[in-house]
């Protein structure tokens, strides 16, 4: 096995159900995902990732912001998938058109 820590993640050559990560056979294990983790500036991602690590998990799923919920959606209190005005982060340029109440021109 390669011990090159800079090698990219790859499939294990002998068992494609495993990955090679930092030269070692690796299985990604998680039960956590948080869609609001990367699109909400107010989300406490350090605490979230520390909790996953403490539980022996080594992966999470993130969301790019292609879907975001309006404030009050599904009656969820403190819904991180419904960022407060000015807290929505997305990986593309902001629109100059009114649209999402907490993310379009009217909220800038």
For residue 107, pLDDT over 50 is answered with no
Reduce the secondary structure of the chain to three states and give it as a string. Answer: CCCCCCCCCEECCCCCCCEEECCEEECCCCCCECCCCCCECCCCHHHHHHHHHHCCCCCCECCCCCCCCCCCHHHCCCCCCCCCCCCECCCCCCCCCCCCCCCCHHHC
| Band of pLDDT at residue 94, cut at 50, 70 and 90 | low
More confident residue, 93 or 19: 19
Alpha carbons 23 and 52: distance in angstroms, whole number: 23
Whether residues 88 and 71 share a domain: the answer is yes
pTM for this structure? 0.63
Domain of 25, in residue numbers: 1-30
Q: Are residues 14 and 56 in the same domain?
A: no
Which of 16-20, 63-67, 90-94 is modeled with the greatest confidence? 16-20
Number of domains comprising the chain: 2
Taking only the tens place, the pLDDT of each residue in 36-68 is 767 888 888 889 889 889 999 988 877 776 788
- 87 and 51 together in one domain: yes
């Amino acid at each position: 096995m390669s011990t090159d820590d800079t090698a990219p993640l790859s499939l294990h050559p002998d068992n494609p159900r495993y990955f090679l990560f930092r030269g070692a056979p690796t299985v990604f294990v998680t039960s956590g995902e948080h869609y609001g983790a990367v699109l909400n500036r107010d989300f406490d991602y350090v605490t979230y990732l520390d909790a996953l690590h403490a539980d022996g998990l080594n992966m999470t799923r993130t969301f790019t912001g292609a879907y975001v919920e309006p404030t009050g959606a599904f009656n969820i209190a403190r819904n991180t998938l419904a960022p407060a005005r000015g807290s929505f982060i997305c990986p593309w340029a902001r629109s100059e058109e009114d649209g999402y109440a907490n993310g379009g021109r009217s909220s800038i």
